A and B are shown apart, each in its own frame.
Chain A
Amino acid sequence: MRGTDLPRLVAVLRDPIETFVRDSRVRVSLLITGSGQILAQHGFTSSYEVMNVASLAAAAHAASRALAQLLHVGRWLHLHHAGTNQEIFLATLETPVEKLIFVTIFDTESSLGLVQYFFGQLSDRVGAMPELSYAERSADQKTFEADLEAGLDRVLTQQPRNEV
């Protein structure tokens, strides 16, 4: 997304993400573009953590998409990793401008079923946002890096109350 669209997008995405976090009782959530630009987050305490998870989520998404093409199974609906103490859920969120990547981390306070259910509601709500209809993708390589950093700066500087 272009840096000029970010203030508006970050502002409108905050409420749906917080609603999802509250209803599904997850610990951490992150919404990024396919290139790893951060649009919304909840629960991270440092930009280092956000950047790491964003880049790993984008890489996991790209790898799973390539795997789906290789196996001719269309597209994955979601990727779920069940760890010993925490679980990761990664899914794509369709918008008119581009597919976004949603990643959330949860523990025994939530469940895969709850995350799937409330992700469906989040997906419907975000997908129908008019603000995302007229947002534009980053124009070229020159603006790409600046737009990428602008997302991280804006999300972390405007959401200190989300820290846990």
Chain B
Amino acid sequence: MSDIFRDSVLRLSHVPGVSGALIVDVSAGVPVIEELKPHTDGTAIAALAAALFRRTVQASDTAGFGGLGSLQLSADHGQMFIAGANDLLVVALLEDDAQIGRVRMEANRAARALRGLDEANA
């Protein structure tokens, strides 16, 4: 099982412009596995990304938009892409020049693999 987690974050973190990748337990807000640059606080990123995703799910639901598949946060000096996978999140930290299309593809692919794992275990 951990191979799927490790493979997912490794593939994602090797996409040009991706500065880090994590899989996060969304209800606990803690990292399951992470591949980050030194001095990057994965615990803080996991907690805040999970809180952001959960709030956005609530907002989307309240607004009648239905379920939330993914979320992209753009800031002055970087971006964050989060894909939901049941009780897990795939989180990618991106530099400004990241290949966003490829990041979305890899993150969604990882999310599908994790959802498949979840369903296989059910």
Contact = CB atoms under 8 A, between A and B. Distances in A.
A133 interface: no
Interface size on A, as a range, is: under 10
A111 B43 contact: no
A76 interface: no
Interface string A111-129: 1111011000000000000
A15 B29 CA distance: 25
Interface string B24-41: 100111100000000000
B9 to A, nearest CB: 17
Contacts of A111: 27-30, 47, 50-51, 54
A84 interface: no
Interface in B72-120: none
B51 A108 contact: no
Interface size on B, as a range, is: 10 to 19
A114 B43 contact: no
Centre residue among A108, A112, A113 by max chain B CB count within 10 A: A113
A53 B47 CA distance: 26
B48 interface: yes
Nearest to A111: B29
Contacts of B24: 113
Contacts of B51: 110-111, 113-114
A108 B58 CA distance: 12
Contacts of B21: none
Nearest to A118: B47
B43 to A, nearest CB: 7
Contact of A117 (B27, B28, B47, B54): B47
A33 to B, nearest CB: 28
Contacts of A113: 24, 28-30, 43, 46-47, 50-51
Interface of B: 24, 27-30, 43-44, 46-48, 50-51, 54
28 contacts: A108-B27, A110-B51, A111-B29, A111-B30, A111-B50, A111-B54, A112-B28, A112-B29, A112-B30, A113-B24, A113-B28, A113-B29, A113-B43, A113-B46, A113-B47, A113-B50, A113-B51, A114-B29, A114-B47, A114-B48, A114-B50, A114-B51, A116-B30, A116-B47, A117-B43, A117-B44, A117-B47, A117-B48
Interface of A: 108, 110-114, 116-117
Closest 7 CB pairs of A and B: A113-B29, A113-B47, A111-B29, A117-B47, A113-B30, A112-B28, A114-B47
